[in-house]
Copies of this chain bind each other. A is one copy, B any other.
């Protein structure tokens, strides 16, 4: 670990953080490919140009590494979702953009979303992931609620369900679509588009 006593040059810690990110990105790829249960540190290292011992130089232990991965995924994920609500001037446009956005998000990185649901399940058993998972869940819920609020503003009505309920239903649709998409269904994406578009107005009756 770089000396924490006196950090002279800025480039040192930057290099350290850069390599941390580089290793975490490689780890994320492997995790998305194999899932949490059967991903080992050695397998992760095999997908990099480095040896397995190095992982313990940049990360305290396996949980520290995976937690760092999840945090990075969170940022990328929320960032990916950004701009979904932006360019819609009518309720119907917004509802359509909602379905299109979710479908595009799914097809963009299905393996990473698969990992997300895997880790969220793991967090129900392993307390170490719970906080990070809860934080990401909160961000996703906020994102969904911003969409609902935008629809409310465009229609001049008020939603008749809670933010968590709205998130739960959209998440259910997304999760099922992901499952079917990965299983080879060619109607999964269209169904997700349509079901999401239809769900939005339903939240106001």
Contact = CB atoms under 8 A, between A and B. Distances in A.
Interface of A: 34-38, 114, 117-118, 120-122, 124-126, 130, 134, 160-162, 164-165, 167-173, 175-177, 179, 182-183, 191, 195, 198-199, 201-203, 205
A44 to B, nearest CB: 16
B37 A122 contact: yes
A198 B114 CA distance: 29
Contacts of A124: 35, 114, 117-118, 179, 182
Identify whether the interface residues of A are mostly helix, strand, loop, or mixed.
Answer: helix
A114 B126 CA distance: 12
Copy number in the complex reads 2
30 contacts: A34-B125, A35-B126, A37-B37, A37-B122, A37-B125, A38-B125, A114-B125, A117-B121, A117-B124, A118-B125, A120-B121, A120-B179, A124-B179, A124-B182, A134-B183, A162-B195, A164-B191, A165-B198, A167-B176, A168-B176, A168-B177, A168-B195, A169-B172, A169-B199, A171-B172, A171-B175, A172-B172, A172-B173, A202-B203, A205-B205
A173 B205 CA distance: 18
B37 A160 contact: no
